[in-house]
Amino acid sequence: MKLLSMVIVGFPLVVNAQTADTTGNGALISQAMDHSEVMQNLAYLSDAIGPRLSGSPAMRKANDWTAQRFRDYGLTASLEEYSFGPAWSRGPLSAQLTAPFTRQINAWSWAWTAGTGGRPAEGRVIRIDATNADSLAKYVGRVRGAWVMQRPSSEIWNPDGPDMTARDSARVRDIAERARLERARLDTSAVAVEQRRQFSVDAPYILKRAGALGVITDGGKEFGLATMSGSPNRISPLPNIVVAHEDYTMLERMLKGGRAPRFSATITNTMGTRPVSQWNTVAEIRGAKRPGEVVILGAHLDSWDIAEGTTDNGTGSMVVLEAARILARSGVRPDRTIRFILFSGEEEGLLGSRAYAAAHARDADSVQAVLVLDNGTGMITGQALQGRDQDSTLWRQLLTPVVPLGVRTLRSARKTGTDHLSFEPYGVPAWNFDQMTRGYNHTHHSQVDTFDHAVESDLKQASAVMAVTALELANYPTLLARGAKTPVTPIKFGVPSPGLK
């Protein structure tokens, strides 16, 4: 899931006349709040299975374990296979600043990037502009024997410093606005988009051919936290290591001050050579009256691998598992089938949910809705309407029973970065719940994404909200209006241009 940044706007929820059937909601809420198993399941996922990088044995172990947990709760469950791309595994890494003084540097390999073959790669550090092919071309003659910084450091306000002044705030807003305008000026034609995509694939091959030792990437967070990412869509033959923001800015200052920093790293990673299969865990409670129509509750089960993957997204996936338990144990009989999907491959580009949506495209018009949870441990606060503002009255009705649990806000906004997006091109109404932040912007993709940060009361509340809204949508009198159907962009695994590989 992408870093979460939101401002709640819109209109508060109020209790009003309803058409949604709320029968059984009391039993669901009681089961969620008084008999929860969400924390024991989350503890097992975090501490026994651990990080679940897609393509790893741990990811398959998580698929098998969650399928069995669904069966333990009385559901049918299976694994649905898709082709993922080559597997990658992280090996040992050590990194040091070797000049102008010597110091150990904490660092992590960007995923799906090469190592150094277990041998030290030592050289000077330089800063280049690699935003496009033209800018990179100006620097290729300078990169031989160098560790390369490709971008300026992230704009992060010193959390230990004074509060922002009005001038500081204006400067930060100006930086963001200039970045927005730069993006808006980009050519959006199909040819230009494909050229930019291809350049992002080619750039590390160009740098490697020019003799660069590797890339250094800003961790992008305070207090030494890293932000991990990577994908088999963008395999790099060049080492790329993430360092703390504070170390990245140190290197920037050294370069600006003429202090000639040097850097050394020894990295052992393993890259697969052919696509591997991955799986989504799929379970369901069959509908009593309209079993061919489906409400989907979803979350991604995969994670990054530099911590336990608890808040991104062990919490969301265990809430979906808990919602299934709640619905099964409460004895309610939904009219429509309620399907629970724990996706893999989300972190690499929504690969699991995109594969699922494509495989089930012919059934898209029978999917009532998709509800996804993927913003950390925080309680559900409301719903972003995802461009479907016409559904504001519906969502007021759906959420009225859980207003006492703190669900109070609707907003006219679109959320990006997670699995609900995979269903939109097929016209399926799909949403990702808003949640209380609870430090998610720090734990997300970082080495502190651990069980310590899970909040039990929030996860109980989120389980209740997902179970209640799923049942209401399963029993809603009619199918929701379809959204516009748009062309589905095929998944492209990056292949370097001829002559680069």
Identify the three-state secondary structure at position 18: coil
SS3 track for 109-178: ECECECCCCCCEEEEEEEECCCCCHHHHHCCHHHCCCEEEECCCCCCCCCCCCCCCCHHHHHHHHHHHHH
Q: How far apart are CA 148 and CA 261, in angstroms?
A: 11
- Amino acid found at 424: E
Q: How far apart are CA 305 and CA 228, in angstroms?
A: 9
Pairing assessment for the beta strands 214-218 and 240-243 based on DSSP bridges: parallel
Q: Quote the tokens at residue 185.
A: 């000026």
Residue 15 has pLDDT above 70, yes or no: no
Buried b (16+ CB within 10 A) or exposed e, 332-369: bebbbbbbbbbbbbbbbbbbbbbbbbbebeeebeebbb
The share of the chain scoring above pLDDT 70, in percent, equals: 96
Q: Quote the tokens at residue 453.
A: 């940060």
**Mean pLDDT lowest among 163-172, 358-367, 472-481, 484-493:** 163-172
pLDDT, tens digit, 9 for 90 and up, residues 77-123:
999 999 999 999 999 999 999 999 999 999 999 999 999 999 999 99
- Amino acid found at 484: A
Q: How far apart are CA 501 and CA 497, in angstroms?
A: 8
Name the phi and psi angles at 61, rounded to 5. -60, -40
Residue 171 has pLDDT above 90, yes or no: no
Specify the higher pLDDT residue, 17 or 296: 296
pTM score: 0.93
Buried b (16+ CB within 10 A) or exposed e, 159-197: eeeeeeeeeeeeeeeeeeeeeeeeeeeeeeeeeeeeeee
Residue 18 has pLDDT above 80, yes or no: no
Residue 496 has pLDDT above 60, yes or no: yes
Report, as an integer, the average pLDDT of 30-47. 98
Report, as an integer, the average pLDDT of 179-206. 88
pLDDT at 1: 60
Give 489's Cβ-side CA count (13 Å radius): 12
Please identify which residue in the block is written with the tokens 């909601």.
25
Specify the higher pLDDT residue, 14 or 70: 70
What angle separates helix 456-474 from helix 25-34, to the nearest 10 degrees? 160
pLDDT at 199: 93
pLDDT at 12: 55
Residue 17 has pLDDT above 70, yes or no: no
Residue 37 has pLDDT above 80, yes or no: yes
